[in-house]
Every structure is written in structure tokens, then in C-alpha cells.
Amino acid sequence: MISKSEIGGVILAGGKASRMDFRDKALETLHGKPLLEYVVSKAATQVEHLVLSVNHNIERYQAFGLPIVPDRDTSYAGPLLGILSAMHWFQSMQAGKGISYLASFPGDVPEFPQDVVGQLAQKLNKESAVVAYIYHQNQIQPLFSLWHLGLIRQIEDAVAAGLYGPKLLFGSLKAVAVNCDDSSPGTFCNINSAEDLNAAALLIGHK
């Protein structure tokens, strides 16, 4: 069984956010709180160590008190590069001792299950897979995923070949989907635009 002590976590907030007029989506507010605050509060309890994948406005993100892990290059090559950069961080840092897996969380999804990492770890272990991802209401949620750190070389090759999203890599790995049946309002609601933010405000209550 995979234990929490073996799992590091990364919140992916390093994108350009072009659909939000290039404002940092994770810093947009929902009921007066940054989206990232919702994500941190849920993600931090599910992993041993948590870091932020961030490429700009570093000083604003430092206020959350988590290690900042920028992408290993400045190409804005998507979330797969953020995952890869976090893997390298955990492999090289003292905090990463004993960490064999990386859980990823998108920085713009404020509502998700408190045991999402546990669900991923259970299925990963049961199926002897190397990556597990969430499947919810007929839709893949590739940024809610759990990766074995032994995949670093394969992810490096994928990024070098121009693959920017985790979903594009699943087909070439022993990947397993975790069917999450959580029907709570706003669960896995992705905030890509101002309209999405307004819709989420109606679905997700004050917390």
C-alpha cells in the first residue's frame, strides 16, 4: 500500500491564463478568497510535502508559505513541464527523501474530494500502474493525477517531443483511470474564464 509519507504534491499554477486576460487564475478570488487558498487547504492534508509550480508573480505566491518550483525552462510548455519540474525538485531536495510519487493538482479547481489522492494511490497500487488519473462524469481530469517518480526520463522525452499535457502521455504508459463518483456541487469545476468564476460562485458555497 502506498502511504502518505511517500507522496509529494504539486499545485500547477504556472500557465499563461490567456482566457483570463493573462491574469493569474489561481489568484482570482471566489467568495473573497484566492482560488489557490481553496486548493492548498484540500491538497496539503493529502500529501507529505506540497509545492507550487509558478512562473511569474513569485512574490505574491510566496505569501502562501510553500516552496516555489518554477519550470525548468521558460517555454511555458504546459502542465507536463510543471509536473516534471516538481519531480526533479523532490528528487534533489532534502524534503523529497522518501518521496516516490507525485500528486498533481490544478491551481484553478477549488472544489475536489478530500481523499482524491487516496483514491488515486489505492488504484495505482492495486493495478501496479505508474500513473493514475481521475475520471469524473464522463470526463478525464488529467491534472488530478498521481505519478511514480521513476517516470522522469519518459516525461523528459515527452516534453522534448512537444507533448505539453499529461493526457497525451497516458496512452504510452501503464496508466489507470479512477472513476470518481463525487456529485457535490462544483466538484472538479475548472476556472478558465470570468464566466466560469461566476458559475463556480453559484455552485460552491462560502468556506
Share of residues in the chain with pLDDT > 70 (%): 91
- Which band of pLDDT confidence, cut at 50, 70 and 90, is reported for residue 20? very low
Q: How far apart are alpha carbons 103 and 150 in whole angstroms?
A: 14
Residue 200 vs residue 135, higher pLDDT: 135
Q: What is the predicted pLDDT for the residue at 21? A: 47
Query: Pairing between strand 68-69 and 101-106?
Result: unpaired
Q: What is the predicted pLDDT for the residue at 19? A: 46
pLDDT digits (tens, 9 = 90+) for 45-80: 999 999 999 988 888 999 999 999 998 776 666 899
pLDDT digits (tens, 9 = 90+) for 88-147: 999 987 666 799 999 999 999 999 999 999 999 999 999 999 999 999 999 999 999 999
CB atoms within 10 A of CB 119: 18
Res. 17: pLDDT tops 60: no
Instruction: Look over the chain and give the mean of its residue pLDDT values, rounded to a whole number.
Output: 90
Burial profile 174-206: b = 16 or more Cβ within 10 angstroms, e = fewer: ebbbbebebeeebbbbebeeeebbeebeeebee
Domains and CATH numbers, the chain: 4-203 (3.90.550.10)
